Structure 1
Amino acid sequence: MSFLKKLFGGSGQAAATDAEPKVTETRDHAGFTIKATPMPEGGQFRLAALIEKEVGGEVKTHRMIRADMFSSKDEATRFALKKAEQVIDQQGESMFSD
């Protein structure tokens, strides 16, 4: 039975997509916190980051995932931080609007 559980994912644990993203680097920018979270995909890394800011006593989070792919985690991290800074400069707190 354990073979079938491994084969079909019956371990009872959350799927990898539900797991908390793995932060590779954190940076502050203009009052926001950027957490680079490159996503492994097909032998490459997709550009992704969390952008956070405390607004009205509550920490708001925006998850940024881009189509850009990189061959190394370090490169994806570096570009995620730059892109997140650009998003912050362009959108500011409005990225948290519903």
Structure 2
Amino acid sequence: MAWLSKLFGGKEAASTAASETYKDFTIAPQPQKDSSGWRIAALIEKDGKTHSLIRADVLNDQDAAIAASVSKAKQVIDEQGDRIFD
């Protein structure tokens, strides 16, 4: 059924990138395959609450996109803390 997603423009997430804990938040990098590379994206979780982070930034390399996704998620956590879930 993955071909249907590709046919209708669905975005693919990175296969299995390791989650990491930062200041009691869990960051799961989920860069999305884009026509020009990998879009920075991550899932941020804490105490059963989740926030989906998707950036406009696109990188050519999947590993670089995973690292950038974690970095951007940490930046958002530092700036907003628990307000990210509001």
User: What is the TM-score of this pair, normalised by structure 1?
Assistant: 0.72
User: How many corresponding residue pairs?
Assistant: 80
CA positional deviation for 1:24: 1.5
In structure 2, which of residues 13, 17, 20 is the aligned counterpart of residue 24 of structure 1?
Answer: 17
Give the direction of change, closer, same or farther, for the CA distance of 1:63–1:52 in structure 2 (3 Å limit): same
What residue ranges of structure 1 are gaps of 5+ in the alignment?
A: 1-6, 10-14
What residue ranges of structure 2 are gaps of 5+ in the alignment?
A: none
In structure 2, which of residues 54, 57, 60 is the aligned counterpart of residue 65 of structure 1?
Answer: 54
Separation in 1, partners of 2:84, 2:51: 7
Separation in 2, partners of 1:94, 1:23: 28
Separation in 2, partners of 1:39, 1:61: 18
- The alignment-based identity, stated in percent, is 36
Give the direction of change, closer, same or farther, for the CA distance of 1:73–1:20 in structure 2 (3 Å limit): closer
Structure 1 outlier segments of 4+, above 3 Å? 19-23
Q: Which whole-Å deviations, capped at 9, do the CAs of 1:45-92 have from their partners, x for residues lacking one?
A: 0000000000xxxx0000000000010110000000011001001100
Greater Rg by CA: 1
User: What is the TM-score of this pair, normalised by structure 2?
Assistant: 0.82
